[in-house]
Amino acid sequence: MTQEHWLRPLLAPRSAAVVGASARPSSLGERCFFKTREYGFEGPVYPVNPRYEELAGERCYPSVSALPEPVELVMLCVGNDRVEESLKEAIAAGAKAALVFASCQLPDDSDPPLAQRLRTIAREAGVPVSGGNGMGFYNPEYGFVGSFGSLPYSPCPGHMTLISHSGSSHSSMVLNDERLGYNLTASPGIELNGTVADFMDYALEQPSTRVIGLVLETLRDPEGFVAALGKAAARDVPVVALKLGRTAWAARLAISHSGAVAGDFAAYEALFDRYGVHLVETLDELAAVMSLFAQGRPAPAGGLAGIGDSGGERELLVDLAERIGVPLHGLTVETQAKLRGLLTPDLTTENPIDAWGGNANWEETFIEGFRALAEDAGTAVALVHSNIRDGDPVSETWAEACKAAFESSGKPVMLSTNFGWTRHGAILADLTAAGIPVIEGSRNALVAARALLAQRDRAARKADAPPAGPGDETVERWRARLATGAEFDEAEALALLGDFGLPVSPSETAGSMDSVMEVVEELGYPVVLKTAMPGIHHKTDQDGVKLDLTNRQAVVEAYSDLANRLGPRVVVSPMAAGADAVEMALGVIDDPQFGPLVMIAAGGIFMELLGDQRLLLPPFGLAEALAAIDSLRIRPMLDGARGRPKADVEGLANAAARLSVLAASLGSGIAELDVNPLRVAPDGCLALDGLVVPKVRAS
């Protein structure tokens, strides 16, 4: 027997009570009480309010404990001053779940504050409590409304789950447009005892769920969220996320460049990359991507094929597709022949198609032309883009073209407007009923197409195993070294990197002129001297690096200057040759939510000036590292821009993958780690400098 999901009494209750139910028009208690049946829920819903004997012809009870039976869900439509007492009473009366709308904040509150007290009550009782400061939930599939918003249409259960921290965003996406068919929506607020991860897990247990959309502010259960993403990936249910508050946490007091550059949103990007979450930037994009996924047709091989009735808007589509990264494939000879027989001589058969040529049989051109495009062997997604409006024969024909292609091709089909401010409610309803999404704005449609293609490509991607690490003895030795908290000098940092297979520059520490010269004689000229004094982490800022020392006198002068100004300890390394090298950087940071993360970035001064970096969850393999490198703005430099030779990109990716093994093995003991610069030349890459900051510092 399958175990019941713990959120079932909250989201699909068999009975409910509304505490604070009211007859006052538009009050929270009035709206919640009457909305419970808006989807046709037939179970008992008891009004609770000692001020009334009856409400809307039903007996009203003075308290939850006075109800004729224990109820599964208690909806608390009371103020902050009453919510704690009401929750305790509901649980004592046998409630299995609760919904809180109050903000859960009191003026001059005690310690612990109200929200924390409510969390403790819920946790100790083992019951899900959604809210507070949320909009509740809508469950059209089950037929229950646990909210107070008015639906302007008759909902038709669909295949999209929406979970939003933002209550206003939740209401905007749920209470406005019937084309968005949901099976569940939730606004969990401050997540007293029911997190985004819990709602995701519930949705993933529903066979009707084809896509999950998230509006995220923060994560209160990172571990549960990662588990939910893993479950979604395993079941091939796409997750689409709009992350709010993307700016970096203002300058965490970081010692390394990696810690200074990386921010909160970069960590989310790393998590989303690992689990294939589709990141969007607006609510419109979120709705568009969810709508296309909800159609339930995965993309086959190929790219986008588009058709419209404007030469200028054809150019607009091409420009946007290139900018957004959606491939417009070349049509087969057979498809072009079909189109040639339909289009007027002045129109081309190159994808996307402008089908408006003033020919007498334009209706056939639209319908049969789009059918030919959709059925083309290289078409993965078929798009009509036109500024449709009700009562317009051209627009109505485009709708018929969509339905014909949708039926014959078996492929994803959508219609998008280039200009969304037209009245097309009737056409929208017609296409929605046929299972075809109507998306406002060509950009939004292209973002949706990109996500659908990315979902396909990710599913086809081969497993990417990380490289092998050193033996257990080596790992334990470095783990014990980090646990001492003693500061690493550069030579020791490079030794750590070398043990995990990163290519490092030979380096030795010296504390006197004589010992410096012994190392120089061993390495040979030219050499580099760098200060190794404790507490100096950014050597260049202190003029603590002396480059290209080619003879004894130069070494003596350089060492004397460093010793007099900064102290006697220095690191001696050979001078790395190669004007053709590109400076990159690798790093490890300890994120408070997701743990160790590996950074790949433009190195040297560009690291902080450009912020050109990508974070990844360790461990990872070569393919994941290469994909991250491809996303950097400095990528063309690695390909040999302006006549320079190509750098060893695969060597860089291999170094990053090996660092990811280090991060996975030792990350619990590392606060920050920098490899900057990492010299990437045509003949390989080389770590020239390393900084390791133990998580526990020696006193």
3-state secondary structure 605-659: CHHHHHCCEEEECCCCCHHHHHHHHHCCCCHHHHCCHHHCCCCCHHHHHHHHHHH
pLDDT at residue 531, rounded to an integer: 87
Residues 311 and 387 in one domain: yes
Amino acid at 113: P
Strand partners, 694: 670
pLDDT at residue 53, rounded to an integer: 94
Residues 79 and 13 in one domain: yes
DSSP 268-327: HHHHHHHHT-EEESSHHHHHHHHHHHHT-----SSEEEEEES-HHHHHHHHHHHHHHT--
pLDDT in tens, 230-241: 999 999 999 999
Cα dihedral sign for 368, 369, 373, 374?
Answer: negative
pLDDT in tens, 12-35: 999 999 999 999 999 999 999 999
pLDDT in tens, 54-103: 998 999 999 999 999 999 999 999 999 999 999 999 999 999 999 999 99
Q: Examine residue 380 and state whether it is found in any structural domain, yes or no.
A: yes
Mapping DSSP onto H, E and C, the string for 478-503 reads HHHHHHCCCCCCHHHHHHHHHHCCCC
pTM of the model: 0.90
What does the pLDDT average to over 517-525?
Answer: 87
Q: Is residue 256 within 8 Å of 239, Cβ to Cβ?
A: no
Q: Examine residue 480 and state whether it is found in any structural domain, yes or no.
A: no
pLDDT at residue 532, rounded to an integer: 84
Work out the end-to-end distance of the chain between its first and last CA atoms, rounded to an integer number of angstroms. 56
Residues 564 and 591 in one domain: no
The CATH number of the domain where 591 resides is what? 3.30.470.20
Strand partners, 486: none
Residues 302 and 281 in one domain: no
Nearest of 635, 633, 673, 672 to residue 652 by alpha carbon: 635
Of the residues 557, 575, 593, which one is the last residue of a structural domain? 575
Burial class (CB in 10 A: 0-12, 13-18, 19+), 667: buried
Residue 136 parent element (H or E): strand 136-139
pLDDT at residue 247, rounded to an integer: 62
Q: For residue 52, give every residue at least 6 positions away whose Cβ sits within 8 Å of its Cβ, in sequence order, or none.
A: 21, 22, 23, 60
365's tokens: 């051109």
The range of the structural domain enclosing residue 381 comes to: 298-460
Q: What is the distance between the alpha carbons of residues 351 and 346, in angstroms, rounded to a whole number?
A: 15
Residues 286 and 323 in one domain: no
Residue 251 pLDDT exceeds 50: no
Residue 598 parent element (H or E): strand 595-602
SS3 183: strand
634's tokens: 């400095």
Residues 514 and 626 in one domain: no
What is the percentage of the chain residues whose pLDDT exceeds 90? 73
Cα dihedral sign for 158, 164, 169, 171?
Answer: positive
Q: For residue 312, give every residue at least 6 positions away whose Cβ sits within 8 Å of its Cβ, in sequence order, or none.
A: none
Residues 278 and 141 in one domain: yes
Residues 284 and 334 in one domain: no
Domain tally for the chain?
Answer: 4
Residue 631 pLDDT exceeds 50: yes
- Give CA separation, 681 vs 3, 639, 646, 660, in Å: 57, 11, 8, 21
- Give CA separation, 503 vs 325, 495, 652, in Å: 34, 10, 10
pLDDT in tens, 599-630: 999 986 666 677 788 999 999 999 999 999 99
Residues 571 and 597 in one domain: no
Give residue 260's pLDDT band: very low, low, confident or very high (50, 70, 90).
very low
- Mean pLDDT rounded to a whole number for the chain: 91
pLDDT at residue 689, rounded to an integer: 86
The CATH number of the domain where 378 resides is what? 3.40.50.261
Strand runs (DSSP E) across 60-96, as ranges?
73-76
pLDDT in tens, 399-442: 999 999 999 999 999 999 999 888 999 999 999 999 999 999 99
Of the residues 460, 486, 520, which one is the last residue of a structural domain? 460
Q: Examine residue 494 and state whether it is found in any structural domain, yes or no.
A: no
Q: For residue 168, give every residue at least 6 positions away whose Cβ sits within 8 Å of its Cβ, in sequence order, or none.
A: none
300's tokens: 């086959």
What is the percentage of the chain residues whose pLDDT exceeds 70? 95
Q: Examine residue 234 and state whether it is found in any structural domain, yes or no.
A: yes
What does the pLDDT average to over 254-280?
Answer: 73
Phi, psi of 531 (to 5 degrees): -65, 140
pLDDT at residue 250, rounded to an integer: 32
Cα dihedral sign for 267, 273, 276, 277?
Answer: positive
Nearest of 102, 436, 119 to residue 291 by alpha carbon: 436
The CATH number of the domain where 528 resides is what? 3.30.1490.20
Q: What is the distance between the alpha carbons of residues 498 and 432, in angstroms, rounded to a whole number?
A: 59
Q: Examine residue 486 and state whether it is found in any structural domain, yes or no.
A: no
What does the pLDDT average to over 370-389?
Answer: 97
Give residue 256's pLDDT band: very low, low, confident or very high (50, 70, 90).
very low
pLDDT at residue 607, rounded to an integer: 67
SS3 431: helix
Q: Examine residue 500 and state whether it is found in any structural domain, yes or no.
A: no
Of the residues 233, 266, 290, which one is the last residue of a structural domain? 290
Nearest of 304, 454, 292, 301 to residue 373 by alpha carbon: 304
Residue 252 pLDDT exceeds 50: no
Q: Is residue 425 within 8 Å of 458, Cβ to Cβ?
A: no
Give residue 2's pLDDT band: very low, low, confident or very high (50, 70, 90).
low
Q: Examine residue 151 and state whether it is found in any structural domain, yes or no.
A: yes
Nearest of 263, 283, 275 to residue 197 by alpha carbon: 275
Task: State the DSSP code for 504.
Answer: B
Q: Examine residue 611 and state whether it is found in any structural domain, yes or no.
A: yes
- Give CA separation, 529 vs 27, 223, 251, 515, 541, in Å: 74, 45, 30, 12, 15
Mapping DSSP onto H, E and C, the string for 9-51 reads HHHCCCCEEEECCCCCCCCHHHHHHHHCCCCCCCCCEEEECCC
pLDDT at residue 262, rounded to an integer: 41
pLDDT in tens, 572-601: 888 876 667 899 999 999 988 899 999 999
What does the pLDDT average to over 167-172?
Answer: 93
Residues 439 and 566 in one domain: no
Residues 256 and 310 in one domain: no
Residues 97 and 145 in one domain: yes
289 versus 108: the higher-pLDDT residue is: 289
